[in-house]
Amino acid sequence: MNQYHIYEAIGRGKYSTVYKGRKKKTIEYSAIKSVDKSQKNKILQEVRILHSLDHPNVLKFYSWYETSAHLWLVLEYCVGGDLMSILRQDGKLPEDSIHDLASDLVRALQYLHSKGIIYCDLKPSNILLDENGHIKLCDFELARKLSEISKTNSSAPQTKRGTPCYMAPELFKDDGIHSYASDMWALGCVLYECFVGRPPFMGREFTQLVKSILSDPTPILPGSPSRPFVNLINSLLVKDPAERIQWPELCGHAFWRTKITPVSLPPQPAFANLINQHSKPCLSERNGEKLAPNRTPPKCREKDAKGTLRQNENSAFGSSKNETLVKGTPGSQKTQSKVSSKVVEEKKLKENPSASKGVNLLRLSRIAKSNLQRENDKENYRRPVSGNSENDSEVELKNTDMELDFNENVEDESHDEPDESDNINGNQEDKTSNDNHQARMEEAQNMGGDLSDYSPAVNINASDLSNKHDQESPLVRTEVVGTSPSASPQLKNQRTKEGSTYALDTDSSKSSNNLSEFFWHQSDLSVKPVMPSKKADKMSDVNPTILPFEGLQAPDFVKMPKEWQDATSSKIIATLSGNTSVGEKQNMIRYLEMLSNNADAANILTNGPVMLMLVKMLKQSKVLQLRVQLTSLIGLLIRHSTFIDNDLANSGLLFSLTDGLRDKQEKVRRFSMAALGELLFYISTQEEHNSNANPLESPLKETRSPTGWQVPNSLISLVSSILRKGEDDLTQLYALRTIENICSQGAIWASRFTSQDVISNLCYIYRASGKSENIRLTAGSCLVRLVRFNPSCIQSVTDKLSSKDMACALVKGNPREQQITLNLLNMIMVGGNGRDDFQITLLRVIESITEEFSVILENPEIFVHKILPSLAVLYKGNKDGDARFLCLKILFDAMVIFLNEPSLDGQRLEDLKQIANLHFLPLYPALIEDDDPIPMYAQKLLVMLIECNYIKISDILHLKTISQCFEFLLGDLSNANVSSVKLCLALASAPEMESRILSQLKVVRRIGILLEFVYAKDMEDFLEPTLGLCRALLLRSVSCRKGFIYSKEPFLLGDGTPEQKVLVNQLECIRDISDFGNNLGVLLELSGSSEANIADIASECVVFLVTAAPREGTTGLLTNLHKVSVILESWRRGGCLLLVQRMLHSLGYACRQYLAHAMILSLSISEISRIEAIISDIKSSSTPRLANDAMLVAMELQRLHRCI
C-alpha cells in the first residue's frame, strides 16, 4: 500500500472502511477498501469474482494487498456516491431518469448472468454512480456462481444471506435457490423504489415483511407512470419465479427506447430441477419443450383491463393456501391475538404438514435472530436484547438495507485458529468454552443472585447490522459477564457468601454510587477467553496406533473408573518423559489437546500428575515445536478447566509461563501469553478481598493469597510491557485480553495495571489506525475498566484522548466503540475534573454531530425541543469561553442546516421561530460583547434569521442593539466582517427603523470611509452590501421629500425649468447624509463596473446623492467629469441604457444646481467639451427617452459653458 496516498473515509462497513485514494505520482484516484483480516476467505471470494469481470456497469477491480492486520482492495472510484443516498436526498426519481438507470442495471445483470454469476444482493446501496450518472454494481461478497449452486446437494438447504426487502419470495422457502429469476425480482424492487421512494414490500418486523412479500399483490404505482413501465414492474415482481419475466422478454420489452441485444446464457440445472419438482408444465413450454399429452398450461400470464398481471393462484411459488403458514393476510377477516403469536405459528405447522416445503416463518425468524445475536457477540456489542418482545424469535427491521443471514448451521463455519495463531481477528472461541467460562462465573458470583445475571449480554441493533459491507457469516465469540462493580468474586470451595461486597477506593465512588448503577451495565465487565481454541472432538490429527492405550473420545475418557484414569495418566507421563521420539510426544500432546476441549477431562488432566509433567517438560524442552505445543496445551487445559487445585501453585507453572514470555521464538511467546492470561484471570477470580475488614495498604503490595497463588509485580510489569510499540500484534492482543479480564475483577486488580506507561500504551493502541479493530477496541475496553475502578486516572486518559477524538468515535464509530466512549464520558463526569470537562466533551460531541446534517434532519425533534434550547441555558453565566463558543457554534450550525432545508413543515417553522426569538435573540446583546469569534457567529446567525423572516426588525429596534450593530464602523475596518455590514443593511432598509435613530448615530461618514476602504482593498464580498447600505441611507433621505415616488428610472430633469424649493420632512431625513458627497468619485467609478449589479446600485446612489444633498452632490459630480465621460461613452459600446440615462439626469441636474446657486468650482473646459461631443452622439439614439434626455443635458451644458 506504499504506492497510494490515502485520504478521507468515504464509507464504512462492519469490518471495513473505504477510503478515497490516489496512486503516487499520478492523478489516478481510486476507492481503497480496508478489510479486517478476519474476513479473508469472504474477501478472496469477492476478489476472485471481481477479477474475472470487465464491464462498464460493473465496478472495476485493480489490485489487492495484504498487510499484517488488513486486506486492501483497490477499486474504481465513483464520485456520484450510491443510489440509496440519492433516494434519501431526492425522495424519488422521474421515469426518464429511471429509464437510463434501469438500462444500465439490466446490461450489468445480463453481463453477470452471461458469466454464470448470480448477483444475489441487488439493492440501492450496492449501486454506485460515476461522474456521468452511469451505474456501477459493487460489493460482490454475496455473489454466487451457477457452478457452485449446481454442486450443492439438492436435498440440503442452500446457503442464503441477503437483504429481505429485496429478496424474491422463493428464497424464503427451504428449497429456494438463487437464480436469474431472483435477480429479476430484486431489479423490480429497485426500480419500484426509484419511482415511489420506498421498496414495494415493507414491514417493521421480519415476519411481517415476508408475509407481505409472499401474499400481498404488487402495489400500484402512484402518479402517472407510462404503461410500459407499469408492465415492466409487474412482470419483474411476479411471485412465481417460473412465471417471472425472462431474459428474451426483458431485452425486447417496450419500456426500452433502444432494444437490448440478447446474449447466450449458461443453463441453470439446479433451478430447472426445482421447477420440475413443482410440476410446472407452463415453464417447459416457455423453454421450447412440448407439453405432455393431456396436460394443459395454466393461464399464468393473463392481464386484467388495466394491464396488471394476474397471479396464478395454483402457482407453486405463489401464495397458495397449502404453502403459506400465515394467517391474517389481506384476505382474512380476523386478526390473530398478539399474545399467542408463537403458539399460532407452531400450531399451523402441525395442522399443515405440507407447509414443510413452503415457508416456515417462525423457523426463519429464529435462525435470523440467532445469527444476529452471534454477529453482535462477534463484534462485542455488549448491550442486552430487549426482553419485552411479544415473540422472542421476531427480528425488528429498522431500515430497508438491513442484511440477514438465514444459514442454520453457522457454528460449523467458525474458523478455529491454527497452532500458528496467524489470525488476529479470527474468533478463537467455541461453544464449549462458553459453558466452561459460564461455569467459572457461576462460581465467581457472591451476590446470591440469579445466574441469569451473569449470562452473556448481547444486543440486536438493526441499524448497526444494516451496513452493506462485510456482513459475514458470524463466528462464535464467547463472552462471559464479569463481576458487578459492587461485588468481589469469592470462589473458594465453590460457595456463595452473602454480603461480601467492597467499595471502590475513592470518595467519588461512594458519593456517586447511584450514578454508577445508572451509568454501568453488567455487560461492561464481560470477559472473553484469552487462549485460542482448537477444533473440538477431532481425532483426525491423532495417530491412535502409536498411543500406548486406546484413544478414547473425551466423553468416554471421563467415564472411565478412577483406577483406569490413573493408569492412563501414568502411560501419558511415561510417553512424555521417556525415551520416546519427538513425533510420539507430539502425537500424545495432540491427543491431550483433543481431550482438553471437554471440561471434565480438562479438570482431570489439570489437577492431576499430567499437568505437573507438562510443566516440567516446558522447563526442560529445547525443541521449538514441542515448546509451542506444550504452552498451547497448558493454555487449553487452564481455559477449559472449571477449577484448579491450589497445590498447582507450587508446581512452578506461573514462572514457567513467565519465562515463555521472554522466549526468542514468537510462537512460544504468543501461547505463553495466552496461557498466562487464562491462569492470571483464574487467579484473580479466586482472590478474597474485603476492603472494609482488610484495607489495602498499597495497590502494588505483593501478598500471597489464601489460595497459594502469588502474582509478583515483576510479572504484572512484564505483561504490561507487551503493550509497547513493536510487539507482535497477536501477543499484544492476548496481553490486552488478559488485562481486560483481570480488570473486570475490581479495584484491587485494576490498580495493579494502573500506571502512566500502561495508560499511554493503551491510548496509543486505541487510536492506532494501523491496528486491527479487535486490538483497538480491546485496548479501549481496558481503559474503561481501569478508569472505572480507579477514577483518579481519568485525567491521564483525557490527556491522551482528546475530546475531539471521543466525539468522533461517538458519532462515527461502531456500536462497541460508542459504548467505550460513553463509558469514558461517564467517568469524566463522575471521576474526572467534574462538570467542566464533561461539559466541554459533551459539547464537542454535539458539535461533531452537527457535521452530519442527515443526523439532524432525521432527528429534528431532539434538536429543536431538547438540544437547542438547552444551549441557550448553558451559555448564560458560563465562565468558560470555549463552552460559550461551542454553544453558539452548535446553535449556528444546526440552524443553518434547518434554514437550508426546503421541505420544512409549518410546525417545524414555528418551532424554529421560537428558538430564534425566545432563546437566541435575548442572548444577542451578550453575544455581541463576548470574546471573538462569538460576535461574528452571532451576527451571521442574526442576519440569516432576519433574511428568512424568523426574526423581525421590530424585535431588535432598541437603541443599544442598533448601536452595537454599527459599532464596528468605529474600529479597525480591516477586522470587520461582512455579516456586520449585512446586519446594518437590514436595519437601514427596514421600514420599522426610524431615520432619527440613524441620524443620532452619525455613521454616514464612517460608512463612506468603509466604502472607500472596501473599494481600495478590492474586498468583493463586502462591496455589494456596503453599496447597499449607502443606497438605503440615501433612499431614506430622498423619500422624505414631499411627493417622492420611487422609480428605477431617474426623473431629475423634469421639464427643464430650475427646480423649486421642495418640502422636506426633517424628522425622516438623515442629517449627515451630505457626508456622502466626499465619496461621489468612488460611486462614479463603481457605476462603470463590469459587475452589472454593482454598477446598478452605485449609479442609483449617484442619482440619490445629487437629489438628497444637491450642493455636495453637484460638487462631487462636476469635479469628476472625466469619470462621467467614461460612463457615457459606454453607450457607444452597447452599454446599459439605464446607467447612461442616470448619468445624464445627474449631470443635467448638477449643471442646473451649479447655475441656480452661483457655485464657484474649477471645471475643465476640455472635459465639458468631450462630454458635449458624446452627448451629441447620444441625441441620435433610437430610444426616444434617451435621445430626449441627451437633448436636455446638452442645453444645460451649453448654459454651463457660456457661464464659465
| pLDDT per position as a tens digit, 251-301 | 999 999 988 999 999 999 888 888 887 644 443 333 334 333 333 333 333
- Give the pLDDT mean for 126-143: 91
Residues 6 or more apart whose Cβ sits within 8 Å of residue 1017: none
Annotated binding-site positions: 33
In contact, 398 and 386? CB cutoff 8 Å: no
Active-site residue, selected from the candidate residues 121, 377, 464, 1189: 121
In CATH, which superfamily holds the domain spanning 4-76?
A: Phosphorylase Kinase; domain 1 (3.30.200.20)
- Give me the percent of the chain exceeding a pLDDT of 90: 24
Above 70 in pLDDT, residue 435?
A: no
Query: pLDDT tens-digit profile of 301-353?
Result: 333 433 334 343 333 344 333 333 333 333 333 333 333 333 333 344 334 43
- Give the pLDDT mean for 703-726: 81
- Give the pLDDT mean for 1132-1155: 88
The structural domains of the chain, with segments of one domain joined by +, span 4-76, 83-291+300-325+338-364, 530-694+705-752
Query: pLDDT tens-digit profile of 19-62?
Result: 888 888 888 889 998 888 778 878 888 888 888 899 999 999 99
Residue 551 corresponds to which cell in the numbers above?
484413544
Helix (H, G, I), strand (E, B) or coil at 266: coil
Which residue would you say has higher pLDDT here, 632 or 793? 632
Query: pLDDT tens-digit profile of 233-258?
Result: 999 999 999 999 999 999 999 999 98
393: confidence class by pLDDT, cuts 50, 70, 90: low
Task: Output the CATH code of domain 83-291+300-325+338-364.
Answer: 1.10.510.10
This prediction has a pTM of 0.46
Highest averaged pLDDT of the listed ranges 84-93, 499-508, 806-815, 1056-1065: 84-93
**CA dist., res. 227 & res. 850, Å (int):** 44
1057: confidence class by pLDDT, cuts 50, 70, 90: very low
- Give the pLDDT mean for 156-177: 80
Work out the angle at residue 694's Cα, subtended by the Cα atoms of residues 689 and 696, and round it to the nearest 5 degrees.
Answer: 80
Q: Give me the pLDDT at residue 1002, please.
A: 84
Q: Give me the pLDDT at residue 670, please.
A: 92
Q: Give me the pLDDT at residue 1051, please.
A: 77
Q: Give me the pLDDT at residue 412, please.
A: 37
Above 70 in pLDDT, residue 148?
A: yes
Phi, psi of 602 (to 5 degrees): -60, -40
522: confidence class by pLDDT, cuts 50, 70, 90: low
- Give the pLDDT mean for 429-444: 40
Q: Give me the pLDDT at residue 407, please.
A: 73
Cis peptide before 217 (omega within 30 of 0): no
Match domain 530-694+705-752 to its CATH number in 3.40.190.10, 3.30.565.10, 1.10.1740.10, 1.25.10.10. Answer: 1.25.10.10
What does pLDDT average to over the chain?
Answer: 76
- Give the pLDDT mean for 1041-1066: 60
Which residue would you say has higher pLDDT here, 333 or 753? 753
- Give me the percent of the chain exceeding a pLDDT of 70: 75
**CA dist., res. 293 & res. 599, Å (int):** 66
Q: Give me the pLDDT at residue 358, please.
A: 56
**CA dist., res. 663 & res. 1169, Å (int):** 103
Q: Give me the pLDDT at residue 152, please.
A: 58
What string of DSSP letters covers 91-135? S---HHHHHHHHHHHHHHHHHHHHTTEE-----GGGEEE-TTS-E
Q: Give me the pLDDT at residue 483, please.
A: 38
Q: Spell out the long-range contacts of 601-605 with Cβ–Cβ below 8 A and sequence spacing 24 or more.
A: 601/554, 601/557, 601/558, 602/436, 602/636, 602/637, 602/639, 602/640, 602/641, 602/642, 603/641, 603/642, 603/643, 604/557, 604/558, 604/565, 605/569, 605/637
In contact, 956 and 917? CB cutoff 8 Å: no
957: confidence class by pLDDT, cuts 50, 70, 90: confident
- Give the pLDDT mean for 975-1004: 83
Above 50 in pLDDT, residue 424?
A: no
Annotated binding-site positions for ATP: 33
Bridge-based pairing state of the strands 480-481 and 404-405: unpaired
In contact, 401 and 163? CB cutoff 8 Å: yes
Query: pLDDT tens-digit profile of 59-92?
Result: 999 988 887 668 889 999 998 889 998 998 888 9
Q: How far is CA 163 from the centre of its chain?
A: 19
**Which residues share a beta bridge with 35?**
16, 71
In contact, 685 and 525? CB cutoff 8 Å: no
The reply to whether 1096 belongs to the active site is: no
In contact, 669 and 660? CB cutoff 8 Å: yes
Which residue would you say has higher pLDDT here, 493 or 174? 174
Residue 293 exposed, middle or buried by CB count within 10 Å (0-12, 13-18, 19+): exposed
Query: pLDDT tens-digit profile of 610-643?
Result: 999 999 999 988 888 899 999 999 999 999 888 8
Q: How far is CA 556 from CA 544, 559, 573, 598, 889, in A?
A: 15, 5, 20, 11, 70
Which residue would you say has higher pLDDT here, 806 or 989? 989
**Nearest C-alpha neighbor of 542 from the set 580, 604, 595, 581:** 595
744: confidence class by pLDDT, cuts 50, 70, 90: confident
| SS3 of 1045-1090 | CCCCCCCCCCCCCCCCCCCECHHHCCCCHHHHHHHHHHHHHHHCCC
Above 80 in pLDDT, residue 99?
A: yes
Q: Give me the pLDDT at residue 390, please.
A: 43
Above 60 in pLDDT, residue 383?
A: no
In contact, 611 and 605? CB cutoff 8 Å: yes
Window from 834-848, 1044-1058, 1183-1197 with minimum mean pLDDT:
1044-1058
- Give the pLDDT mean for 502-527: 52
Residues 6 or more apart whose Cβ sits within 8 Å of residue 463: 398, 399, 402
Query: pLDDT tens-digit profile of 1082-1101?
Result: 999 999 998 999 999 999 99
Q: Give me the pLDDT at residue 403, please.
A: 82
Above 60 in pLDDT, residue 1155?
A: yes
